[in-house]
Amino acid sequence: MENKKKIPVNTVTRDIKNLAAPTGNIYESVVILYKRANQIAVEEKKELMKKLDEFRGDRDTMEEVFENKEQIEISKYYERQPKPDLIAIAEFENGELYYRRASDENPIDIESGK
């Protein structure tokens, strides 16, 4: 997953009022962020497992696993990536998330709040 956006890799202090603004309720905002972060984490895990499966063989020994530099580099790459919750917050703040309440027939547009 290529993250071309400027997303901090460290935790950033945020004003709760700004996170609650698009939905009007901090709890709804947190649920939206949780669900999106979970989606991102699942996508990243699938992508990582797909890449690491290329290195699996029927007869891997522990020495081969520890000595595989390409595999280590792939793991390091994913460790340096922004965490899924930070990506979800950035998407939410930039109005890039689409969501709707189960009781509503019309989706909510985060940018306009309607």
**Per-residue pLDDT tens over the stretch 93-110:** 888 988 877 776 666 665
Does residue 80 fall inside a structural domain? yes
Lowest-pLDDT range of 3-7, 42-46, 62-66, 93-97: 62-66
Q: Give the range of the structural domain holding residue 72, as residue numbers without chain letter.
A: 16-100
Does residue 106 fall inside a structural domain? no
Q: What is the mean pLDDT of residues 24-34?
A: 93
Does residue 48 fall inside a structural domain? yes
pLDDT tens for each residue of 72-94? 888 888 888 889 999 999 999 88
Compute φ and ψ for 77, nearest 5 degrees.
Answer: -60, -50
Confidence band, pLDDT 50/70/90 cuts, at residue 31: very high
Q: What is the mean pLDDT of residues 3-26?
A: 81
Q: How many domains does the chain have?
A: 1
Burial class, 104, CB count within 10 angstroms (exposed 0-12 / middle 13-18 / buried 19+): exposed
